[in-house]
Amino acid sequence: MHQRQIVIFLLIRWIVITTAIVLAAAILPGIHVESLAAAIIAAAILGIINTFLRPVVLLLTLPLTILTLGFFAFIINALMLLLVAAFVPGFKIDGFGWAFLGALLISVISWIANRFINKTDQRPGPRRSRHPDYIDLEQGDDGKWR
C-alpha cells in the first residue's frame, strides 16, 4: 500500500468513527457531543487509544476476557470511551452504562460502515487474490512453483 493510500484509508476510518460518535450521541441520551470539532477530536483520540493502549489492556486482561467468553472486551471498550470523554472538552458521557452502550453502538456502526468501505483487501503485503476460494500459484524462472 502506498503512502497516499494509507493516508486516505486513515482519513476514511477517522470520518467513519466521527460519524459513529455523532450518531451515538444522537441516539443515546447519555452521550453528549457539543460540536462537530469535539466529535472529530474524540474520534482521533479514540483511534490513538485503540491503536496503542487497547491492545496492551486486552493482553493484560486476556484471562478475564477468556473467562467471561469475550464479554470483558466490551467493558474495555466502554472504559476506553470514558477515557476519551475525560480528555475531550465538549464530549461527555453520563456514566459507565452509557459508555458501554455507546461503545457497542460505535463498534456496530463502524463495523457496518467498514463492510461497505473495505471492498478489497487493502492490507500491505504480497499481491492478494480477488478469489479467496483458491490459491494462485506462479511458476518462477527456476521452475519452482510459488
- Mean pLDDT lowest among 11-25, 48-62, 106-120, 126-140: 126-140
pTM of the shown model? 0.78
- The label of the residue with cell 489492556 reads 57
**Domain regions of the chain by residue span:** 3-117
In this prediction, what percent of the chain has a pLDDT beyond 90? 70
Give 87-103 pLDDT, tens digit per residue. 999 999 999 999 999 99
Which residue(s) pair with 91 in the sheet?
33
State yes or no: pLDDT of 123 exceeds 90.
no
